[in-house]
Amino acid sequence: MLGVSKKARRFTESVIREMTRLCRQSGAVNLAQGFPDFPAPQEIKDAACRAIAGDVNQYAITWGASSLRQAIAAKQKRSYGMDVDEEREIAVTCGATEAMIASILAIVDPGDEVVVFEPFYENYGPDAILAGAVPRFVALRPPDWTFDPGELAAAFTDRTRAIILNTPNNPTGKVFTRDELESIATLCRKWDVVALSDEIYEHITYDGAEHVPIATLPGMADRTVTINALSKTYSVTGWRVGWAIASPELTSGIRKVHDFLTVGAAAPLQEAGAVALGFPDRYYQTLAADYLVRRDLLLSGLRGVGFQCEAPRGAYYILADASSLGCRDDVAFARRLIDMVGVGAVPGSSFFSRPELGRTLLRFAFPKTAATLNEAVARLQRGLAH
């Protein structure tokens, strides 16, 4: 009998994509998947058109067009004072997704342990499976989604090779504080562990929360892979351009894995990315301010119909507790929400290693126009409020 590999058998269909399909079938407002329903900035679109018209249509250098790597290095310097050598310390990939899997495959051997905070972005589990890594989960707990330092310390052993970090965080909206990052960094140094830091929401923070790249902490530059992408900052999730920044030694491994996985990211879109990374500070301030308005609109809508939720301090999701609305089974509740109310969300269990930890939670994404969010809130009010 022909069949799929043991690895593939361990994957379940992405719940997020399942919810998106159900939303399409029934015409529900899709707050499940985290992509914008508003246009990308005109300048980045014009730059992409110019690159295609100018015949930047063949393979770029496999580890990234020189213009984009220069722009990434300049941006890290401008935003965080980080010195990055674009010749030896950057690998451009197909989105942050490929940056993470290429980094794990380059750094982690089968049987090595990887520490993962939960709830987690749903790709990290399959990433660990593909690399043959053994995930060790450490809980982030509401209301501020902090971790117990003792529990974190206990997750590190001499088999630990890496820790996966995502700040600002999907799905909790947590922005790790400098103190929290210091305690993670101390363990990384003690156990000789690499931090794989997914910072794709770096520019989407609220209420004065400060994004701190863990690579900027003492002794961490050489043991961090900083992962990012154009996707969220420039509202181009479909372009598939991301990157990993790491020491020359780690980068050379990541570049090799990347070369054999995908050869390279779309060449003209890399040129457009180089233009976007040079946007002035005002662009990033407006981005965050616009997201704040969207956050507050959805937050008050959800609270108004009985969800319990903390205001996220970063990223663009609200992880809402629906117990007081009678939710005991998040997947059934999410399906009912699509069918009966016309609003799509992601069942909370998809963000946990043990589904029971997310049984009363739903994640709502708000990278949407005010019209979309208002329609979602109106439907929730009609369908849920008593």
Residues that bind ligand PLP (CB under 6 A): 34, 95-97, 121, 166, 170, 198, 200, 229, 231, 237, 242
- Least CB distance from residue 242 to ligand PLP, whole Å? 4
Q: Least CB distance from residue 227 to ligand PLP, whole Å?
A: 7
> Which of residues 11 and 83 has its CB atom nearest to ligand PLP in the complex?
11
With residue 14 as reference, give the H or E element that holds it.
none
Shortest Cβ 372–ligand PLP spacing (Å): 17
Taking the least distance from each CB to ligand PLP, the nearer of 225 and 327 is: 225
Nearest to 125 by CA among 350, 356, 331, 358: 350
Contact 26, 338 (CB under 8 A): yes
Q: Which is nearer to ligand PLP, 22 or 96 (CB)?
A: 96
Could you give the count of Cα atoms lying within 13 Å of 210 in the half-sphere of its Cβ? 10
Measured from the CB atom, the residue of 273 and 301 that comes closer to ligand PLP is 273
305: how many CB neighbours lie within 10 A of its CB? 19
Peptide bond before residue 168 is cis, with ω within 30 degrees of 0: yes
Phi then psi for 236, rounded to 5 degrees? Answer: -135, 60
Nearer to ligand PLP, 176 or 342 (CB): 176
Closest separation in Å from C-beta 232 to ligand PLP:
7
CB 157, min distance to ligand PLP, A: 26
| Contacts for 280 with CB less than 8 Å, ≥ 6 apart | none
Q: How far apart are CA 103 and CA 228, in angstroms?
A: 12
Listed in sequence order, the residues at least 6 apart from 273 whose beta carbon sits closer than 8 Å to its beta carbon are 44, 68, 71, 230, 234, 239, 241
Supply the minimum distance, in Å, between the C-beta of residue 265 and ligand PLP: 10
Residue closer to ligand PLP (CB basis): 261 or 340: 261
Q: Which is nearer to ligand PLP, 235 or 237 (CB)?
A: 237
Distance CA 114, CA 104 (A): 9
User: Which of residues 224 and 237 has its CB atom nearest to ligand PLP in the complex?
Assistant: 237
86 is written with which tokens? Answer: 């674009």
The Cα 157–Cα 291 span in angstroms is 40
Report which residue's Cβ sits closest to ligand PLP: 95
- How far is 186 from 188, CA to CA, in rounded Å? 6
Q: Residue 385 Cβ, how far from ligand PLP at the closest point, in Å? A: 30
Quote the least distance from Cβ 19 to ligand PLP, whole Å: 13
Name residue 280's amino acid.
P
Helix (H) or strand (E) holding 10: helix 6-10
Q: Nearest Cα to 343, choosing from 386, 365, 376?
A: 376
